[in-house]
Amino acid sequence: MARTKLQTPNFTLSKRADGYYVIRYTDPATGKTRDKATGTKDAKEAEEERARFAADYRKPKLAKNPTVAELCDAYLEYRKPQVKSAASLEHSYSPIKRHIGALYAQSITQTTITDYIKKRSGDVSGGASGRLRIKPVSEATINKELRQLRAALNWAGSEDKIDRVPTFRIELSAGEARDRWITKEEANRLMETSSPHIALFLLIALSTAKRREAILTLTWGNVALHPAGHETIDFGDDVGNKRRGKTPIAGNVRLIEALKAAKGVAKTPYVIEFRGKQVADVKTALRASCRRAGVEEITSHVLKHSAITWMVQAGIPYEQIGKFTNTSKDIIEKVYGHHSPAFVAEAVGALAF
């Protein structure tokens, strides 16, 4: 039977018959046990050497002066276990590697970045799901790519893989602030024109203000529909800086009944399923629902934005909204505060003359 490959080398100290210590570890690539001499019989010195060797072993294997492409690949390997969508992260680095990947990381200058912006501005992006929707690459997209490049460079500097971390300005807009939200009347029209699994997705999103990924990965084991009056949905652990947490739904009769009905016919562990399979994305289906309902096209993020906007418009305190949605009070006030009835009344009152 083949030996199971370990995820970490699992460094330990072992004393040889001659009294010298060796560092014993399992090569994660081969599963074989290897020894590294410490050159000492002193237990304390051997432990210090073990700690140094383990730290160096885990460092990224990169040339001292790596190219941008090599650095990006190494950073991707480092980040993949920490992010929800590794494919999305790889997608951000693809144009970086294509346009400036052959350059040495430390040779990046402001001119390099300016040239990159010009090249990317001339690129076009396509549509999804086989539907061709060619359009120029937006400034917000280029901004995101360059921020990812900066993150990779900073990481390389912290790992001592480059002597100097290049600094540069990103002279682009991060995109217009998103203030798109739908009314409750539009929400009901969307529900009526959507297939059952999309209607349930909409209902959960608008009732909990949770993100698309949290809803699509939600399983029935994390939905508590009993006892009555204590119903909750546990969206699991936070992913990166994306907060999830547990959301109470007691009293939301429409959502509770919809969940009970869906659970009764479920064929998979996932709450959002279609034809006996987990749903990977709702972008295309949501676009079709908008078209049928006569609602301006929205993304799933607009649903979260709408839910919080409704609560602010209803005069719910920012702190209470923050606790319910696992969003900081400061963000609620900064992004959604202008929807508050109190804010509007005070602003209008101040301008009266």
Domain total of the chain:
3
Whether 86 and 39 share a structural domain: no
Two tokens at 54? 């383990």
Do 152 and 80 touch, CB atoms closer than 8 A? no
pLDDT tens digits, 19-28: 999 988 887 6
- 75 in a structural domain: yes
Same domain membership, residue 303 and residue 219: yes
Q: Is residue 208 part of a domain?
A: yes
- HSE-CB for 52 with a 13 A CA cutoff: 9
Query: Cα-flanking dihedrals φ and ψ of residue 13, to 5°?
Result: -100, 140
Check which CATH number belongs to the domain holding 17 and give it: 3.30.160
Q: Which CATH number is 150's domain given?
A: 1.10.150
Higher per-residue confidence, 201 vs 326: 201
| Token pair in block for residue 33 | 């046990």
- The Cα 224–Cα 155 span in angstroms is 41
- CA–CA gap between residue 12 and residue 15 (Å, rounded): 10
175: left (phi over 0), alpha (psi -120 to 50) or beta: left
Question: Does residue 167 fall inside a structural domain?
Answer: no
Same-domain status, 107 and 151: yes
- Bridge partners (DSSP) listed for residue 124: 136
Closest CA to 206 of 246, 249, 243: 249
Q: Where are the alpha helices (DSSP H) in the chain?
A: 43-58, 68-79, 86-100, 110-121, 139-158, 184-192, 196-208, 212-216, 253-264, 283-293, 300-313, 318-325, 329-336, 341-351
Residues 93 and 209 in one domain: no
**pLDDT tens digits along 87-120:** 888 888 999 999 999 999 888 999 999 999 999 9
* pLDDT tens digit sequence for 262-292: 999 999 999 999 999 999 999 999 999 999 9
Enumerate the β-bridge partners of residue 67.
104
Residues 19, 76, single domain; the answer is no
| Residue 179 maps to a domain | no
Do 196 and 334 lie in a common domain?
A: yes
Residues 100 and 38 in one domain: no
Q: How far is CA 87 from CA 76, 91, 126, 142, in A?
A: 10, 6, 17, 17
Domain interval for residue 329: 184-350
Residue at 270 is within a domain: yes
The more confidently predicted of residues 69 and 352 is 69
Tokens (6 digits) for 46: 């051997």
Contacts of 315 (CB under 8 A, 6+ apart): 340, 341, 342
pLDDT band at 122 (very low <50, low <70, confident <90, very high): confident
Three-state helix/strand/coil letters over 173-229 = CCCCCCCCCCCHHHHHHHHHCCCHHHHHHHHHHHHHCCCHHHHHCCEHHHEECCCCC
Do 229 and 199 have their domain in common?
yes
In this structure, are 97 and 194 located in the same domain?
A: no
Examine the domain organization and report whether 101 and 200 are in the same domain: no
Q: How confident is the model at residue 67 (pLDDT cuts 50, 70, 90)?
A: very high
More confident residue, 138 or 7: 138
Listed in sequence order, the residues at least 6 apart from 321 whose beta carbon sits closer than 8 Å to its beta carbon are 308, 311, 312, 327, 329, 332
**Cα 121 to Cα 65: distance, rounded to the nearest angstrom:** 29
Task: Evaluate whether residue 35 is within a structural domain.
Answer: yes
Same domain, 216 and 316: yes
Of the pLDDT bands very low, low, confident and very high (cuts 50, 70, 90), residue 29 is low
> Same structural domain for residues 72 and 134?
yes
**Predicted local distance difference test score (pLDDT) of residue 202:** 96
Residue 244 has which token pair? Answer: 């999830």
